[in-house]
Amino acid sequence: MDDAREAEAAPAAALSGVRVVELGGGVAGPFAARLLGDLGADVVKLEPPAGDPARRLEPFASDRDGRACSLVFEFLNWNKRGVVADLATDAGRDAVRALAADADILIESLGPGELTALGLAPADLRAANPELVITSVSGFGQEGPYASWRATDLVLQAMSGVMAISGTSDREPLKHGLRQSLYGAGLNAAYASLAAHLGRLRGGGGADVDLSVLECLSSQLVLNEAHYAFLGAVQGRRPPVQDPLAGDPLPAADGWVSLQNSGLIPVARLAELFDDSRLAEPRFASVEARTEHAQELNAILTEHLARETRAGFFARSCAAGYLSGQVQGAADLLSCPQLAARDVFHAFDDLSVNGAPVRFPATLMTLSRTPTSVRRRAPALDEHADAPLARTGRARPPAIAGAGGEDAGGPLAGVRVVDLSTVFAVPYIGGLLADLGAEVIKVEAPHRLDQTRTWFGPYYDNAPGQDWWDRSATFHVVNRGKRSVSLHLGHPDGRALLGDLVGDADVLLDNFTPRVMRGWGTTYEALRERNPRLVMLSNTGYGSTGPWSPFRAQGTSLEATMGISHVTGYAGGKPSKVGQSYPDFLAAWTGLTALIAALIERERSGEGQWIDLGMYQLGASVIPEALLHFQAHGEELTRRGNADLGALVSGVFPAAGEDRWLAVSVQDAAQLDALAAIVPGLEALPENDAQALTARVAAALTAWSREHDGAAAAARLQSVGI
């Protein structure tokens, strides 16, 4: 389909008319640009003559023309047009200048300072186009002592602090499986780019967005930074023996399940779930008691779970109101009835493996009026070289009247948000909206305050005091920048007051299970009668539709069911949870992308819309390698411990000092030669035996790293390009 016919056939989209230029390749930047393309932006991808390195990522499939295609590249780059621009030539650099002069957003991942070194300094590009947003994605940011360091998923996760709290204390720190840092950074780059663009529409100018993948990862340490700031306490990794109801996977008859105590359901009710009175005994009533008697509790749970399938237990326990999950792999996700009901997967009719269409995770969120869509496959190299790309003479959208301009206090200054949510993912969205300048009003029930006021994190000075509800560290971090009111929404008067707030609001946030808002008569359909411009985001564990929509969920149980735990864990070991409530951050970053896109669209149409965000379906889009590998090869990716995807040799090795570690990722033969010049014992390495090579390098690195300070050793290796 040609571009004109495609545009005519495409449904209304949130970012229609927004031009995005992508430069640099890899994973994070292209993923961000693709997300904007899914929302309707016109994305032009610039590649070097050899193509984006992601074109060479496994696995591969053949299209109907017999071309070999990287499925990961396809996933990262649909909804784009593609041209080659050789930045070593004047013509290539002129192509960048021409497209940037006509663009709204430029997303680049060339590396710190490289645009300037090429004669394409951001200041010069914005001088030619003062309304341009330039988002620069790099491992460590554009400035600082680590700006020039090489970054891989392992290195970034290690340095972010997330690995320090992941794994068990008797083993080395553990990373999330596959390429989580890069997909998370892509989500951050998407919402940050849109926030800056909305700020331009609201009367500001263009902006430079310096996005550090490391900082995106470190922002997940919300609970940990609160403990340190309030108590000086540094969290370590989990002990080998821990509370069996902390969500770590438990064995079932055919796999693994997760069961978590939420505080809302008495632990004694487990006696009813398993029809076993032993589970109601006081020795299992508290976290401390369960940890002390973990061996006994594990034995009881294992006895019962051995008689149940993981899917059967998941359905039964969730229907009873428990926070439960099942560890799913790629095959489970591809056949999942909930993902099918939510229309998560997309297949192209000209891309298949062994005659079966390849199915890609595509739908992250549902926007009621302007749904996301997949309109075209990833471009072949230089596919659109002869297509007209410039939009000469186009009229830029006018600034929003009364928005206040670039000095008004942030790109979202003047936006009013009503936040009905509790605990984590959506309150964190509200906190980040406040960071961006929005006025956020947090609404709590007077008889049921947000649980983070009491259940999460320490009190200031470790003393509850008389006003304990205002002294919780985690509550203050997540809900920063907000105003607060109390409303009893179970009472008609409370709902009437909510209506007054919503009538004057731009955004409404909630994370109730779907039945709650329906029961109160406060669905989007009802509220938009009061305020047609309202943008409402409802975040639930599984979304508002589908057979699992009534199930309650929390980050730990979702991490298992999403498939992330299946690819995370020590090599040869069981599935593992990593970090702190990781799915909550995926939901926050994705929700912000959808929200800001809806606000941008509203300035064109004058209408709001409802965003239905189901956290569960986000998991498939951050482990695409697992789903694509299964379809290409008919096998599940195994847990790789701390091995970087695509690295020659990688891992975590003990450094000098107590619980100090060195993360090393050797990408190719040249880096291996550089390593051999520093680390003894790497002479005459086996060339054709990958397993023997890995064992030799790991042994030599272990012996060397034990004798060196970790930070100094990392700096030494980085100095030679490792």
Contacts of 273 (CB under 8 A, 6+ apart): 279, 316, 317, 320, 322
Q: Say whether 584 is catalytic.
A: yes
Partners of residue 255 on adjacent β-strands: 252
73-106 burial by CB neighbour count: b if 16+ within 10 A, else e? bbbbbbbbbbbbbebeeeebbebbebbbebbbbb
Beta strands, E only, 174-309: 207-212, 250-252, 255-260
What amino acid is encoded at 552 in this protein?
R
> Rounded to an integer, what distance in angstroms lies between the CA atom of residue 698 and that of residue 682?
10
The answer to whether residues 596 and 540 touch, using CB atoms and an 8 Å cutoff, is no
> Rounded to an integer, what distance in angstroms lies between the CA atom of residue 509 and that of residue 424?
12
What is the SS3 assignment for 348? strand
What is the SS3 assignment for 208? strand
The answer to whether residues 421 and 539 touch, using CB atoms and an 8 Å cutoff, is yes
- Two tokens, residue 290: 């369960």
Q: In whole angstroms, how large is the CA radius of gyration of the chain?
A: 26
- Two tokens, residue 81: 């047009």
Angstrom CA distances, 47 to 50, 379, 556, stand at 8, 11, 39
- For residue 191, which of 494, 641, 598 has the smallest C-alpha distance? 598
Contacts of 281 (CB under 8 A, 6+ apart): none
Contacts of 554 (CB under 8 A, 6+ apart): 247, 260, 262, 323, 423, 541, 581
- Two tokens, residue 321: 């109101």
- Two tokens, residue 346: 């997309």
User: DSSP character for 25?
Assistant: -
Partners of residue 482 on adjacent β-strands: 440
Q: Kind and range of the H or E element at 82?
A: strand 80-84
Partners of residue 356 on adjacent β-strands: 353
> Rounded to an integer, what distance in angstroms lies between the CA atom of residue 278 and that of residue 301?
11
- Two tokens, residue 651: 């891992």
Candidates 52, 102, 332, 584; catalytic one: 584
Q: Kind and range of the H or E element at 571?
A: none
Cβ neighbours around 5 below 10 Å, total: 9
> Rounded to an integer, what distance in angstroms lies between the CA atom of residue 324 and that of residue 261?
9
The answer to whether residues 333 and 339 touch, using CB atoms and an 8 Å cutoff, is yes
Q: What are the φ/ψ torsions at residue 578 (nearest 5 degrees)?
A: -130, 145
> Rounded to an integer, what distance in angstroms lies between the CA atom of residue 381 and that of residue 82?
7
Active-site residues, by number, are: 584
